[in-house]
Amino acid sequence: MYSYLLGICLLTLINIYYKKFTINEFNKIILFFSLSTYFVVVYKNANFLISFLLAVICIRRNNKDFIKIFFISSLILYLSTILLSMFGILHSNEMIRIVDGTINKRTSLGFTHPNEVFLYFIPIALCGYYLYGNKFTYYIILIATSSVLYKLSYCRTGYITVLCVVGLNFFKNILIKFKLKNILPYTMVVLTIISIFIAKLYGNDLDNNISNLLSQRPNLWNYYIKNGYMLSILGKGIHPDYIMDNFYLFLLVEMGITGYFIYFIIYYKSLKHLRHDIKLLIIILIFYIYGLTETNIIIGSIQFVFALQIKSIIINNKKINKEDKYNG
């Protein structure tokens, strides 16, 4: 990890040296670097830093070029992991899931957990959607591939999330009509409230339909609510015995109101800037939905669009509207 970060930092410094920035842009770069340092020093979390570095590296590239590079590199590494697992070089962890008395074998295909099969596949699927989402063939390949991965990993959340890509694209015109671009900036707060509502309503009892559907996550969420973890300035940290699979509650528990507010402001301001690109808005919405049951979308190398959101705040908004115009 440290070698990885050092390499990206060096590339970023070279990029800053050769690129010309306005005073306003440079001041924003310093601001985001300060925020990155804050998260690294206070929380030992490098994910914000990774997203910031990627944003600076692609600062003069249009969004489509960045997504294409991310798509190709991620796909190569994903397939390499599976191939190394097939040849026995990478160990594939296996688990069992019992649903309605049926035993389902789950394999990780070389990743550390079966859920990671879709965790690392979803960014690839979303990049593909941005690049090839206007082609019917893409959806055939996406559904077929996802179905095979689901049969192997039995990751329900990831599979449903990928199907949402297909569904939301089908209703794209309806989303435009109902002003998705105006609603999306507030979605983070709405989903936070929904998460708390689910935890309070269904988190006290493990034996209910909602709890079973969400793999008993509401009970874990409710633990943090009942024990006063939610309302702190700098965060109280995640308890090692209570996994937090919810991006929004994770921010409040791990990084406090301060960390949550920083992320909200970035989402809010960037979504105002990126409102002309409907495909990008749908991708952000998918990550929003996935965040209800998956904290790992905070990882900079998974939530690739967060780098573009930071970039949209750093550079002049008019430039974005000119180079990344409405992508239907």
Q: What is the pLDDT of residues 136-170, one digit of tens each?
A: 999 999 999 999 999 999 999 999 999 999 988 88
> Average pLDDT in the 295-305 region?
92
| For residue 326, pLDDT beyond 50 | no
Q: Where do the H-state alpha helices sit in 91-208?
A: 116-119, 121-132, 136-153, 156-170, 172-177, 180-183, 187-202
CA distances from 238 to 5, 124, 214, 252, 256 (A): 24, 29, 19, 10, 11
Checking phi first, is residue 243 left (phi over 0); if not, alpha (psi -120 to 50) or beta? beta
Q: What is the pTM of this model?
A: 0.90
Residue 15 has pLDDT above 80, yes or no: no
Grouping H, G, I as helix, E, B as strand and the rest as coil, residue 262 is: helix
The helix-helix angle for 247-273 and 187-202 (nearest 10°) equals 160
Q: How many CA atoms lie within 13 A of 104 on its CB side?
A: 14
Output b/e per residue, 146-167; b: 16+ Cβ within 10 A: beebbebbbbbbbbbbbebbbe
Instruction: Give the CA angle between residues 254, 259, 260 to the nearest 5°.
Output: 90
Query: What is the predicted pLDDT for the residue at 301?
Result: 86
Sole residue written with tokens 């003069």: 60
DSSP states along 248-261: HHHHHHHHHHHHHH
- DSSP-based three-state secondary structure for 105: strand
